[in-house]
A and B are shown apart, each in its own frame.
Chain A
């Protein structure tokens, strides 16, 4: 297991390097000059030239990449073109909020999706399945802002059980922080869970045909053993890798929920950065999100290997 882990981690490193290159080229392939765009149609050519020089945009692409790449190792992502502030501190401030929301949303996704899908699959065709499966289909088609707004109106405005919007760092006030996390996280979890549930159901149904499941009857094993050690442990394997991808989507896809609940995550930074043509800001954020994809998938692979001995070859 240890050797497998080392091998997977080493394999992820060139992937990160390739990612940084492709990302850099991609951003610079966007037509139009960011400085000229910022200054608008009345931009003074001399001023544009001066600003371009200050931002290093007049250098060759490899040189620019090299400077950026070296900066990464010093923990510097560059300076925002719009505000003139260094980007790293801004991100350091925003990332905990995003992480907190991601973990909480994942919690709800798994809490709702896995058991629903599993039991619908185990009792396929029963009344339970016939209630849960259409529900998950409805859930799939509900947009996240609708769930968010509904929660906001019911729990926040009418019942006043939860604070409506905002963010308090967990370290500052854990309970208030969790109360604020609940609604946006639940809204995200509720929209992702149906997909997970359908996947889990399909995996469970497929598994029930396998001979080693059928054979548990011949061994006279208890229902609890069959459900827990046989079905659940094997059904989670195909679901796991999809869950990793969903987690990646979660990190980059919180923009709408952040907007509804005034959550200071990185999703809104990207949108603002893109509108203001703050290319370094966008580049940095995409780098962070894409790297987290790689890291999450690495984590999923390791978890998969831990759960399924056949993978550790």
Chain B
């Protein structure tokens, strides 16, 4: 049922709209669901934080947004509407033209994404060349643009570094080059999957301010994936918390940080050191491990680790039914006891 023009998809408010997206690995009865029925939107110029522990499905969700989930993973259901187009019905060729051009992906290990045997110049220019129409190849102009891109991400000695190979740069420089690669065609949306996790703290701060600068000057929207709540507080407008393949809480950064509703979010926040005042005797740490996709619990997936569930005497509802959420609200949490004092 291919939809060429979809009235509902044209949306002046949001740049990206994700509807009931599910991603499975494998097929048949042994299929494992890594992302389960996820819906959200991102506005123009908005920075959306996506938080969760390892294995919660954050990275798979990112890949699904770009439609590059590696086999045996498949997008099982749902739609991704990007800038008025349903990405699910586009041809391979149309999708290639969007990726790297309107939709850019930046990952944690920048070095691993670069061709080890070609120079930085080639790695940036090839993106320009492959997205340029036929006959518009202009080597000198491309070089100029590559230089400008490197300067825009504040890479020192851009001229010199253009001639270098990826392994000759430091980790921070590599990440800057990766961002320059992502930015060179002025994408509408950047998906940044833990771009600062591998960097030391000062470089981390520089990369964060660089991303915010990109948003402020070009109006680019950013999906910022991290497991570090402090980072979210620093650059995001809105935040979604993921647990076991689902979004469990969503809201503006202020709402979620000041008034977390989901016990999981509360647990994550209580694991942070306060910036002011006396540090607590002991930091609260969540017991247990996040479940793996093949053995997600029934009902609310957080209930086996949930302190509220225990405190309430293990109510059946947590084990038996999925929490209902009103996703039209600005701030919501997928918990049966979200708005009750417990």
Do the two shown chains form a genuine complex with each other?
A: yes
The answer to whether A218 touches B167 (Cβ under 8 A) is no
Q: A309-B167, A310-B167 are in contact. Are A212 and B112 (CB under 8 A)?
A: yes
- Cβ contact within 8 Å between A234 and B116: yes
Within 8 A of A (CB), among B48-74: 66, 68, 70
B68:A217 contact, CB within 8 angstroms = yes
Query: Once the chains bind, are B115 and A230 in contact (CB under 8 Å)?
Result: yes
Are the C-beta atoms of A220 and B131 separated by less than 8 Å? yes
Counting from the closest, the 8 A-B pairs by CB-CB distance are A220-B100, A220-B99, A215-B113, A218-B105, A219-B100, A211-B112, A309-B165, A222-B130
**How far apart are B132's CB and chain A's nearest CB, in angstroms?**
11
Q: By the criterion CB–CB under 8 Å, are B115 and A218 in contact?
A: no
Please state if B113 and A221 are interface contacts (CB–CB under 8 Å). no
Question: Is residue B117 contacting chain A, with contact meaning CB distance below 8 A?
Answer: yes
Asked if residues B96 and A222 are in contact (CB atoms below 8 Å), the reply is yes
In the complex, the answer to whether B66 meets A218 with C-beta atoms within 8 Å is yes
What 0/1 pattern do residues 207 to 232 of A give for CB contact below 8 A with B? 00011101101111110010001100
Question: B97 interface residue, CB < 8 Å from A?
Answer: yes
- Residue with the highest number of chain B CB atoms closer than 10 Å, among A219, A221, A234: A219
B236 to chain A, nearest CB (A): 22
A205 CB, min distance to chain B CBs, angstroms: 14
The residues of A that contact B165 with a CB separation of less than 8 Å are 309-310
| CB under 8 Å from chain B, chain A span 170-215 | 210-212, 214-215
What residues of chain A lie closer than 8 Å to B168, measured between beta carbons?
Answer: 309
Among B97, B117, B167, the residue within 8 A (CB) of A220 is B97
Q: With A219-B100, A219-B181 in contact, do A229 and B127 touch (Cβ < 8 Å)?
A: no
Q: Is B101 an interface residue (CB 8 A)?
A: yes
Neighbouring B residues of A214 by C-beta, 8 Å: 68, 70
Contact across chains for B99 and A212 when beta carbons are under 8 A apart: no
Question: Which residues from 238 to 257 on chain A have a C-beta closer than 8 Å to any C-beta of chain B?
Answer: none
A276-313 interface (Cβ within 8 A of B): 307-310
Q: List chain A residues, Cβ under 8 A from B338.
A: none
Closest Cβ of chain B to A73, distance in Å, is 40
- Enumerate 11 A-B pairs (CB-CB under 8 Å) in ascending A order: A212-B116, A217-B68, A218-B100, A219-B181, A220-B99, A222-B96, A233-B117, A234-B116, A237-B117, A309-B168, A310-B167
Residue B208 interfacial (CB < 8 Å): no
- Output the nearest chain B residue to A210 by Cβ-Cβ distance: B112
Across chains A and B, the number of contacting residue pairs, with CB separation under 8 Å, is 74
CB of B199 closer than 8 Å to a CB of A: no
Contact A211 B70 (CB under 8 A): no
Query: Please, how many angstroms separate the alpha-carbon atoms of A230 and B116 in the complex?
Result: 9
CA distance A218 to B95 in the complex (A): 10
Q: Is the CB of A234 within 8 A of B101?
A: no
Contact check: which of A211, A217, A233, A234 meets B99 at CB < 8 Å?
A217
Task: Looking at the assembled complex, report how far the CB atom of A234 sits from the nearest CB atom of chain B, in whole angstroms.
Answer: 6
Q: How far is the CA of A214 from the CA of B298 in the complex (A)?
A: 34
Q: Is B107 an interface residue (CB 8 A)?
A: yes
Which residue in chain B gives the minimum CB-CB distance to A236?
B117
Assuming the contacts A211-B109, A310-B165, A310-B167, asked whether A220 and B101 have C-beta atoms less than 8 A apart, the reply is: yes
Instruction: Give Cα distance in the complex from A310 to B97, angstroms.
Output: 32
CA distance A1 to B181 in the complex (A): 27
Q: How far is the CB of A215 from chain B (nearest CB, A)?
A: 4
Q: How far is the CB of A155 from chain B (nearest CB, A)?
A: 40
Q: Is the CB of A218 within 8 A of B68?
A: yes
Asked if B87 is at the interface of the complex by the 8 Å CB criterion, the answer is no
Say yes or no: B117 contacts A221, CB within 8 Å.
no
Chain A: CB-nearest residue to B119 = A309
Cβ contact of B127, chosen from A221, A233, A310, cutoff 8 A: A221
Is A308's CB under 8 angstroms from B99's CB?
Answer: no
B51 CB to closest chain A CB (Å) equals 22
Task: State how many angstroms separate the Cβ of B176 from the closest Cβ of chain A.
Answer: 16
Q: Which residues of A contact B116 (CB under 8 A)?
A: 212, 234, 308-310
B126: CB under 8 A from chain A?
Answer: yes
The answer to whether B118 has its CB under 8 Å from any CB of chain A is yes
**Set B96, B98, B126, B131: member contacting A229, Cβ < 8 A:** B126
**Is B114 close to A, CB under 8 A?**
yes
The residues of B that contact A233 with a CB separation of less than 8 Å are 115, 117-118
Please give, as numbers and ranges, the residues of chain B lying within 8 Å of A212 by CB-CB distance.
112-116
Establish whether residues A221 and B167, one from each chain, have CB atoms under 8 Å apart when the complex forms: no
- Give the residues from 309 to 339 in chain B that come closer than 8 angstroms, CB to CB, to chain A: none
**A234 neighbours in B (Cβ, 8 Å):** 115-117
Contacts of A210 in B (CB 8 A): 112
For the complex, give the distance between the alpha carbons of A155 and B116 in Å: 46
Residue of A nearest to B63 (CB): A218
Closest chain B CB from A63 CB (angstroms): 52
Q: Which residues of B contact A309 (CB under 8 A)?
A: 116-117, 165, 167-168
